[in-house]
């Protein structure tokens, strides 16, 4: 498959479509260019004492400052990590007490929560966390609330500002009651950073996770922002880099690449969101026209779902078989989070929104990105149509029965979502 | 400063010398070339289910297999990490009981040891760990012995095979006594991998740390090898990558680069060791001829010291001032481990070998590498001579007194080392 960039001229030959940008993004050319000098020329250890090393330190700190600026934060509150999973773990390590999180968080958040006292709040059928439910889940011992900004599987954008208000209100109550248990709001914004503002002040977060790999930057590069005064505890001990919180020789190339990537992503996010959401809607309409009994998950309201994401389930069809049929036509789509996909588990996200197993098993998660063109989307829609039709024929499932049983998503979508 | 590669033709213009390869190596061109495709074309998430992602998985596992082959190990015993510090921490996390380590280990090893019951064995004045002393330090509760293969500050190569025999013997004793406390030998081979065999079987290690950044590979890429049956415990939780031990989307580019880097380093290590040890000896002879009262640390026997390393102390001179004078002449040298250097601490390594503070404060650690030429070494020797002379003049220290007080390293070196 070739990723085509000559979109919109109408003449490009489509020979496939990559529709899994939530799992991995190619590095932007600007990012690669920014990183290259640090591989062979400016390769110095930023902790060494001579001028060339101090220049590497300056470049590292300059990149940190750019990252901080992009999230409206102070550079000294940004801890650079080897990716979002580590950043999430680091956020959790800042406290040891009770945690409140929701049922559709990333595996790394759920795994950290399950390792200590925790309450997992449910989500609505479109994946939304209710701030009032978070408020009820808080106990006097709750030290951390961890809610992602947007879900990577069904695209739900969470009401973080309202959840932040809940946490702030509990903090004020404790202050007035002279209780000294701290409480922080951690927001994993990894999947959101290409599409939404990640300004920490306007979000009201106390801890924020970002990933370079989701915004056309390098893999295994991420950051944890923490508000002033939050005492981070290291997961690895050593030379004392990152204020003692994250030891190990700094990945200057990766951090410089991350800063360029996030800058591009945040600068272009509105225009790109408009462009890809139109393509996503076209893909959704095309699939629902052909298969009205298919089920689209996540909020149907534009502002409540990631603009590049389409999660569609074909009941009584095996998504794993669809993936194979589609890859033969050059169309790459996932069945959910890549982490879970590799273990071929049923998605905890789809279970949490109450999708019956015979529906969730037929789920494709499609995420569009910078190289996605209209032609690719149409090509993918045709390929999916062929694949689903072929599977229905193979298994002898009757579409009329599917329609009777699962109704029409098209009507539901027009009515503002089934959820 | 430009790193010259046209060595040996005798015509190259020297405009500086980088002599801190133990702190950071430039990536080999072959490594950069191997990594580039994974940035923009083969960028897929290896955990995703479609063909392109499975190719990324195949490439990742191919690189893991090459790394395993280079250390004489099975691929499924290799855990990929974000660098050596994390790998050392992961090795320690495999057990919770008493640890035996030595006083000149890397900060990451010492920090991990100090966080739990531990015994730190002393080293000789040339930095060697005595296997008999390790044997005496073992208790029935000792679960881990952690000794590096070679020290990055004074270059001491440790008698790992003999230490492995000590650990093996204790393991056999426990087996016969029906004691079920496990005991493992962890070897940090980060600084050694470019110069020595890192074959785990011949070393007799149970856990082995390697770093890509020390062998002309990318930064923040490393591995922990663990013998079959050692239950590793994750430091970060999440998607379950690396057999659940190290979650986070895999850095395919970095791991591929690491495998190419280690392959090159191991293939060329004998020839390169011969080449740079001759240059190192030339530099050492040149400095000791001019300053016979200077002190060379680490073993003087060729086979007991890293071939690229020269640690020299100028008593009563401030190394930090030398670094500044040298950088103005384009010569980049460190004062010890970059981690410690950045905090301007006195080296724990030099304290441990009993170097008096007024000697250790005047220490330069010089490490040669692939781009180091004879002309660079001579240029550096001249620059160091000028810098030390200038400092002696500035402070009014008399070289005759230095010679009376500290004796002549030249004679000592000829006699097989002062240590």
Distance CA A327, CA A334 (A): 10
Please enumerate in sequence order all residues whose Cβ is within 8 A of that of B198, keeping only pairs 6 or more positions apart, or say none: B70, B71, B149, B189, B192, B208, B210, B266
pTM, full prediction = 0.93
What pLDDT was estimated at residue A239?
87
Q: Per the CB < 8 Å rule, is A332 touching B45?
A: no
Tokens coding A356: 């019956």
pLDDT of A12 higher than 60: no
Strand, helix or coil at B178? coil
Q: Residue B393 — pLDDT band, cuts 50, 70, 90?
A: very high
pLDDT of B35 higher than 60: yes
Q: Per the CB < 8 Å rule, is B45 touching A36?
A: no
What pLDDT was estimated at residue A6?
43
Distance CA A224, CA B180 (A): 41
What pLDDT was estimated at residue A408?
83
pLDDT digits (tens, 9 = 90+) for A361-381: 999 999 999 999 999 999 999
Distance CA A158, CA B52 (A): 32
List active site positions of A.
Answer: 339
Please enumerate in sequence order all residues whose Cβ is within 8 A of that of A107, keeping only pairs 6 or more positions apart, or say none: A337, A339, A340, B237, B238, B239, B240, B247
- Mutation pick from B18, B33, B49, B84 vs chain A, by most beta carbons of A within 10 Å, is B49
List active site positions of B.
Answer: 339
Ramachandran class of B160: left when φ > 0, alpha when ψ lies in -120 to 50, beta otherwise: alpha
Per the listing, tokens 């739990």 go with B116
pLDDT digits (tens, 9 = 90+) for A22-69: 999 999 999 999 999 999 999 999 999 999 999 999 999 999 999 999
DSSP state of A36: T
Residues of B in contact with A39 (CB under 8 A): 26-27, 31-32, 218
pLDDT digits (tens, 9 = 90+) for B240-279: 899 888 989 999 999 999 999 999 999 999 999 999 999 9
pLDDT of B122 higher than 90: yes
Burial A22-43 (b: 16+ CB within 10 A, else e): bbbbbbbeebbebbbebbbebb
Q: Per the CB < 8 Å rule, is B220 touching A254?
A: yes
Average pLDDT for B109-123: 97
What pLDDT was estimated at residue B7?
43
Q: Residue B14 — pLDDT band, cuts 50, 70, 90?
A: low
- Mutation pick from A21, A82, A114 vs chain B, by most beta carbons of B within 10 Å, is A82
pLDDT digits (tens, 9 = 90+) for A188-239: 999 999 999 999 999 999 999 999 999 999 999 999 999 999 999 999 998 8
pLDDT of B201 higher than 60: yes
What pLDDT was estimated at residue B386?
97
Please give the ipTM for the structure prediction.
0.93
Nearest to B342 among A47, A218, A343 (CB): A47
What pLDDT was estimated at residue B407?
87
Distance CA A334, CA A21 (A): 10
What pLDDT was estimated at residue A2?
44
Dihedral sign for Cα atoms in the order B48, B51, B52, B58: positive
CB A417 within 8 A of CB A301: yes
Tokens coding A274: 């408009």
pLDDT of A415 higher than 90: no
CB B146 within 8 A of CB B186: yes
């Amino acid at each position: 498959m070739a990723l085509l960039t000559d979109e919109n001229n109408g003449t490009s030959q489509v020979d496939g479509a990559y529709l899994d940008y939530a799992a991995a993004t190619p590095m932007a050319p600007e990012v690669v260019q920014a990183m290259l000098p640090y591989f062979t020329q400016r390769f110095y250890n930023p902790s060494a004492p001579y001028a060339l090393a101090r220049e590497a330190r300056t470049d590292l700190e300059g990149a940190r400052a750019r990252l901080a600026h992009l999230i409206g934060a102070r550079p000294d509150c940004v801890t650079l990590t080897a990716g979002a999973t580590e950043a999430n773990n680091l956020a959790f390590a800042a406290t040891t007490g009770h945690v409140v999180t929701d049922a559709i968080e990333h595996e790394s958040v759920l795994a950290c929560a399950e390792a200590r006292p925790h309450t997992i709040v449910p989500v609505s059928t479109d994946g939304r966390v209710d701030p009032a439910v978070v408020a009820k889940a808080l106990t006097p011992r709750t030290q951390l609330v961890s809610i992602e900004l947007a879900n990577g599987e069904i695209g739900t954008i969470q009401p973080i500002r309202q959840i932040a208000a809940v946490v702030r209100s509990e903090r004020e109550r404790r202050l007035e009651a002279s209780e000294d248990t701290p409480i922080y709001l951690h927001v994993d914004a990894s999947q959101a950073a290409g599409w939404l503002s990640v300004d920490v002040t306007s979000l009201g977060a106390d801890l924020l996770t970002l990933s370079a790999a989701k915004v056309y930057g390098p893999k295994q590069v991420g950051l944890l922002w923490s508000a002033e005064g939050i005492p981070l505890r290291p997961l690895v001990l050593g030379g004392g880099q990152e204020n003692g919180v994250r030891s190990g020789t700094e990945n200057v190339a990766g951090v410089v690449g991350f800063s360029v990537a996030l800058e591009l992503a945040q600068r272009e996010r509105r225009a790109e969101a408009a462009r890809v959401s139109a393509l996503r809607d076209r893909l959704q309409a095309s699939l629902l026209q052909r298969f009205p009994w298919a089920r689209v998950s996540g909020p149907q309201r534009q502002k409540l779902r990631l603009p590049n994401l389409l999660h569609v389930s074909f009941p009584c069809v095996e998504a794993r078989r669809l993936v194979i049929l589609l890859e033969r036509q050059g169309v790459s789509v996932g069945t959910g989070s890549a982490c879970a996909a590799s273990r071929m588990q049923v998605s905890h996200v789809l279970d949490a929104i109450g999708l019956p197993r015979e529906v969730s098993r037929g789920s494709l998660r499609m995420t569009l990105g910078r190289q996605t063109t209209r032609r690719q989307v149409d090509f993918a829609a045709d390929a999916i149509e062929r694949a689903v039709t072929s599977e229905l024929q193979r298994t002898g499932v009757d579409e009329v029965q599917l329609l009777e049983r699962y109704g029409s998503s098209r009507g539901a979508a027009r009515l503002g979502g089934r959820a």
